[in-house]
Amino acid sequence: MDIKQLNERIQQESRIVDQIAAEMDKVIVGQQDMIDKMMIGLLSNGHILLEGVPGLAKTLAIKSLANTIKASFSRIQFTPDLLPADLIGTMIYSQRTEEFLVRKGPVFANLILADEINRSPAKVQSALLEAMQERQVTISDNTFALEEPFLVLATENPLEQEGTYPLPEAQVDRFMLKVIINYPDRGEEKLILRQNMMQEFPVTQPVIDPADIIKARGVVRDVYMDEKIEDYITHIVFASRYPNQYKLPRLEPLISYGGSPRASINMALAAKAHAFLRHRGFVIPEDIRAVCHDVMRHRIGLTYEAEAENISTVDIINDILNHVEVP
């Protein structure tokens, strides 16, 4: 299939994106970047971590997205006293049958909202790890495959650190994107105010089936990516590991570790999904730059020196993007 035919196919198949976006616009004012990144996760089978202060519609956006799909949805409120069994389920003894039966937990759903995921200890977070990576859950001696599509959308509050547990690096790396949510502008806030003063708050309606999402995921992987774009991705990731090789010696003492191969894979998938959102059958450098920060910000480790100088991963990513040659 040539690029012209592929482009026409993508334009036709990507109509579901417009259907979802039209429903989301009924409820969410502004926050277009957050909505785009959530749809990128949905289309490329990658989990999303949303970080922002309370009241920025993170939970509302996730619930609204789940409502647009005729699929099962579970909200799990992470608290310090949450147990792994509260998440994945447990074995219950039945007196009638005189045997142990499996009672499945809320993780057995298509879309999972893990609200304030950093409120629970590592034991609970690790229970979610198998589901996120292997798409399966083990309860006692039984292993159950999770129904597709399966997507974890987690929220994190950056303000309160008391009573929170930092996410282990192994789990953070399982999130395809870490999206930082910012305040709306004054015009958007005025619309939010009006919307919340209405007699009835708008809600999204189901417009697509889970099968449509699975089909769209296959189409996203068919989006064309030139070898020069692949080189661009690998150069960005390698610059985070070996900054000296890219004439960035000032970054060497600031980075404790760079992006893993999972960063390269997720950047390629996210860029393809971003092109799909734009109804395009091929990836361009702007797609890479649009997703790079969200793919890389939680995969670069900072040294004490960087923290002392108040340098963030965003500053490092900006330096890398400014120095790596664009194809």
Whole-angstrom Cα distance, residue 180 to residue 156?
Answer: 10
- Taking residues 121-133, report their average pLDDT: 82
Is 80 exceeded by the pLDDT of residue 163? no
- CA end-to-end distance (rounded Å), the chain: 24
- Taking residues 158-182, report their average pLDDT: 78
Is 60 exceeded by the pLDDT of residue 1? no
Confidence of residue 40 (pLDDT cuts 50, 70, 90): very high
Sorted by sequence, the CB contacts under 8 Å of residue 141 that are 6+ apart come out as: none
Is 60 exceeded by the pLDDT of residue 253? yes
Confidence of residue 266 (pLDDT cuts 50, 70, 90): very high
Is 70 exceeded by the pLDDT of residue 161? no
Tokens of 210: 């889970």
Nearest to residue 221, comparing CAs of 5, 2, 10, 1? 10
At residue 25, the pLDDT reads: 85
Whole-angstrom Cα distance, residue 323 to residue 247?
Answer: 8
Sorted by sequence, the CB contacts under 8 Å of residue 50 that are 6+ apart come out as: 34, 38, 58, 61, 62, 153, 154, 155, 156, 179, 181
Whole-angstrom Cα distance, residue 83 to residue 105?
Answer: 11
Q: Which domains does the chain have, with CATH numbers?
A: 28-191 (3.40.50.300), 219-323 (1.10.8.80)
Q: Give me the amino acid identity at 141.
A: D
3-class SS of residue 212: helix
At residue 55, the pLDDT reads: 78
Helices 210-221 and 3-13 cross at an angle (nearest 10°) of 160
Whole-angstrom Cα distance, residue 274 to residue 45?
Answer: 13
- pTM for the full predicted model: 0.87
Mean pLDDT of the chain: 87
Q: Give me the amino acid identity at 98.
A: E
At residue 273, the pLDDT reads: 94
What tens digit of pLDDT does each residue of 65-99 get?
A: 888 888 888 888 888 888 888 888 888 887 888 78
Give the percent of the chain with pLDDT over 90.
27
At residue 294, the pLDDT reads: 94
Contacts 24+ apart (CB under 8 A), 239-244: 239/320, 239/323, 239/324, 240/296, 240/299, 240/300, 240/316, 240/317, 240/320, 243/320
